[in-house]
Each structure stands twice: as structure tokens, then as C-alpha cells.
Amino acid sequence: MDSEKESGERKAAFLEVLSVVKSVAAAAREVGVARSTAAGWASQVGMSTIRAPHPGRADYARLRSEGISQSAAAVRIGINVRTARDWDQGIRHVGNARIYPDGRRVDYATGRTSTVPVPHASPSLMALEQAIHPRYLSLQEREQIADLHRDGQSLRAIGRAMGRSSSTIKRELDRNTSESGTYQPHAAHRQAVARRPRPKPAKLAHEGPLRTYLLERLADHWSPEQISRMLPVVFPENQEMRVSTETIYQSIYVQTRGGLRRELTAALRSGRTRRVSHRHAEQRTPRFSEPMLMISERPAEVEDRAVPGHWEGDLILGASSRSAIVTLVERSTRYVMLGYLPGGHTAEEVHDVLVEVISTLPEHLRHSLTWDQGAEMAQHRRFTLATNMPVYFCDPSSPWQRGSNENTNGLLRQYFPKGTDLSVHGPEELARVAAQLNSRPRKTLNWSTPAQRLRDLISAVP
């Protein structure tokens, strides 16, 4: 037992030296262990290969400290935005693995997630900038404390100026004043952030009623969110039976942290063996090669439906998505037009049908078309050139931005049920269905019909 304790102490000392000297051989000599042993220890924590820092990393840190955004700083340094985000989060790359500041080691070659001992290191830029509860002092407040303290203000005066208790100011100065007697706000903030993490034991690491309930519900294919939300309902008086959704996911995906078997990932609906990060909007790959006009750029006259000639469009799909029908709805009159797709619904085929249908309209009723980001609109630029109608695209997963069209598609399902072959409905059948919808009185039109409204618009033009 004593030898194990001594080995652990020497390992900790070696890792501490290694984090400073950046050389396995030098750290091994300093601590007095065999180089092979030292190499094994370094490999366990992902420090066996320590590369020279990126030549632009210092400039990147300077730009970020000046308030430059992450993406803008990445462009100026000439690095990928993903690399910039990793730098901000303090993530290190070792071979095929990414090592997080909290000790998570994700090996993307095998999909395995584990934890490693974390040597002492300065907080990452993201940790320093992270906004937390207002009861904690921010960097700006620490700068204000330094200025007022330098001017000779008393603790009470500083507290009154900042809206803080004088005991808070005293505790801050006592804890973070340097040995030379000076208070440096940025150094104080780094020390405070470094003290923030706690070696708190994982809530689900040990056997107990909470862990048992969780395992039973996961076996029943409940989602982590359902489990978390139902705990207060099932156990209203027992505050120990509480766990957040994120804690459950951490316990499943991070080995040795939460103590749950990795086989439980099979019980999750996604079936993933590791977590997948979500991209920010600015990092998404553009949907089409041609630049898109987004719905946020659409003129205000489209939104209030005061000017006719603005259309919403979509496809309704048949069985196994093998057949489709083009649906178009005019926003102010709710007039419906349907396009026949005899073969398939590729971008070329949809383009040809849309041009054919829109060309039947008078010019004053051809102002714009709003569509979702489906692949069938890859020829949107050609459509605009052929019809002089700009195409505005909705945001991803936002069907309400084409509300009239979505409602119409629901009405059309009475004629074209889901799971049926839509190619059997020819142009005559589509024209008959469109005529029926356009002859129905609509409450939103004060009980006029879409056909009457459109006829009035056409006849009003000399």
C-alpha cells in the first residue's frame, strides 16, 4: 500500500513538472523515474507529445481580449473557427483525441469517451469570459475595485459605489492580493475562476434509489428529459430524487464519471455512442451553391399581406417520397395553384413545373416566392431569372414561416392522403382539386372565396 501511495505521489509530481518543462525526458530526470515509466504516465493524460504552440495563438488571444469575435479573430489569424473555439475552451488535441479542461478525453477514432487526470493549468479564455450568477464578482467589477482601492477609498465607500457589501470587498482583497501587497484585477479574476470547479462526486456514481429509478426508466426507453421532469411528480417530497437532464447524459457518455454502463446508449432514441455537437448558424454549410435570400430579407409588404402577388410554396410527398405535387398559395387571397410532377421531384423537374405554373399569372401578381430549404429548390437562381420572382427561404425547421402554405397542405391531404402514390393524379385532377379549394368561402377573407378575390385583383388592372 505504501509503495502505491509513493508511486501516486511521484506520478503527480512528474505531471506537475511536465506541465512546466514540456519535456517527458526532462521531467523524468527531475523526478527521478525511468523514462519508460514517465512516458506511460504522460500518455495516460494525453501529454506524451507536446507540440510547440501555434504561431498565431498569441495574436489570437490578443484579438479576443480586444473584444474581437471568435469568427472574426479566426479569419484574421488564418485558422478554422473550430480551432478557435477549441482554443477558447482550453481543448487540447493529442492524436485522434480531444482532451477537455475537465478531464474528458474523446477518441474520435474509436468513439470512446474517458476521463484523465488533469494537471494544473490556467483557466481557458472561455472560462474567464463565461457569465455566471451576478452574486459573483465579474472582471469589470474587479477592475473597479482596483481603481477605487488605488485611489484610497475605504471598503465601505467601494461597496457603496458598486452596490456590494463591504465584507465582499474585504474578502476579495484578502484572498487575491499578491505577496507584494498589490491587487491586480486580471490576476485576481484568473485565481477566482481557477478555484471555481469543485471535485464534486457524480450524483449517479453510487447505488441508490435515484440510480435504480433511472436505470429502470432508461430500460423502458424513456428519454433523459422525461426522467428528469417526472422525478418531482413521482417523488414530490423527496429532494434527493432529483437529477438534471444534462447529468444523466454525462453519466451515460462519460466513462468513470457517472458510473452508468455505456451499453445504456442503446436505450437512447438516438442510439449514439458519443455526443454530437450542434453547429452555430454561422458555421452551417450553405444549403445551395447559389446564395440564398433569407426570409429576414423579405420586404415588409409581404408580411402584412397588403400587396398581392407574394406566394408560398412547398411539395407534398407521396409514399416513400417517390412522388410529389407542387403546391402554391398566394398570401393575400389564399388562392391555390397545383403543379403536376409526372416523374420525380428533382431540382430540375420542380424548376420546370414552377416556371410553367407561375408563367400563367399576370405580371402584377408575380412579386415573390417563399419556400423552405428543401433540395428541390437548388435551381432557385434559374427560377428567378426566368420569372423575375425572387425566392426567399425560411429558416431551418420553421414551418410556421409559411403558415398559409402549411395550412393548405393540410387541406390537400383530404384529397391526396399520406402514404399514397401521388403520380396517379394527372393535371386535370389537380386542376379540379384546386378549383374546389378556391371556391370555398374563407373566414379569413370575410367569407369571400379565393377565386373571387383573385378575379377582383385581375379585373382591377386596366
- 183/217 same-domain check: no
pLDDT tens track for 382-439: 999 999 999 999 988 888 999 999 999 999 999 999 989 998 999 999 999 999 999 9
Place of cell 417517390: 322
Domain closes at, from 160, 195, 230? 195
- The reply to whether 156 falls in a domain is yes
Claim to verify: residue 304 and residue 384 sit in the same structural domain: yes
pLDDT attached to residue 208 = 87
β-strand 310-317 against 368-371: which pairing, if any? parallel
Please check whether residues 242 and 357 belong to one and the same domain.
Answer: no
Joined grid coordinates for residue 286: 450553405
- The CATH number of residue 364's host domain is 3.30.420.10
Q: Are 322 and 243 found together in one domain?
A: no
| Cα Rg, the chain, nearest whole Å | 32
Mark whether 235 and 361 lie in a shared domain: no
Q: What is the pLDDT of residue 77?
A: 87
- What are the helix (H) ranges across 151-268? 155-162, 166-176, 185-195, 209-219, 224-234, 245-253
Whether 275 maps to a domain, the answer reads: no
Instruction: Give pLDDT tens digits for 73-131.
Output: 888 888 888 888 888 777 777 767 777 766 677 776 666 766 665 555 556 666 666 66
Instruction: Judge if 330 and 262 occupy the same domain.
Output: no
Cβ distance 161 to 153 under 8 Å?
Answer: yes
Domain that holds residue 247: 209-267
| Percentage of the chain lying above the pLDDT 90 cut | 35
- What are the strands of the beta sheet with 112-115, ordered from one edge? 92-94, 97-99, 104-107, 112-115
- Residue 165 maps to a domain: yes
What pLDDT is stored for residue 87 in this prediction? 81
Tell me, yes or no, whether 214 and 186 share the same domain: no
- The verdict on 328 and 411 lying in the same domain is yes
pLDDT, one tens digit per residue, over 337-362 is: 999 998 889 999 999 999 999 999 99
Q: Does some domain include residue 225?
A: yes
In contact, 213 and 231? CB cutoff 8 Å: yes
| Residue 368 host element (H or E) | strand 368-371
Task: Identify whether 83 is part of a domain.
Answer: no
Question: What percent of the chain lies above the pLDDT cut of 70?
Answer: 79
Instruction: Indicate whether 380 and 403 sit together in one domain.
Output: yes
> What is the per-residue DSSP string for 295-354?
GGGS-HHHHTT-SS-EEEEEEEE-GGG--EEEEEEETTT--EEEEE-SS---HHHHHHHH
Average confidence (pLDDT) over 283-297: 80
Specify the 3-state DSSP secondary structure of 286. coil
Over the stretch 311-324, which tens digit does the pLDDT of each residue have?
A: 999 999 998 888 99
In a domain, residue 26? The reply is: no
Asked if residue 30 is part of any domain, the answer here is no
Sheet strand arrangement including 324-330? 293-294, 391-393, 368-371, 310-317, 324-330, 336-340
328 and 246 housed in the same domain: no
Q: What is the pLDDT of residue 285?
A: 64
In a shared domain, residues 142 and 243? no
416 and 455 in a single domain? The answer is: yes
Length reported for the chain: 462
pLDDT (mean) for 159-172: 92
For the cut 60, the answer to whether the pLDDT of residue 27 exceeds it is: yes
Query: What phi and psi, each to the nearest 5 degrees, are found at residue 361?
Result: -90, 150
Number of domains in the chain: 3
**Residue 54 resides in a domain:** no
Split at pLDDT 50, 70, 90, the class of 258 is very low
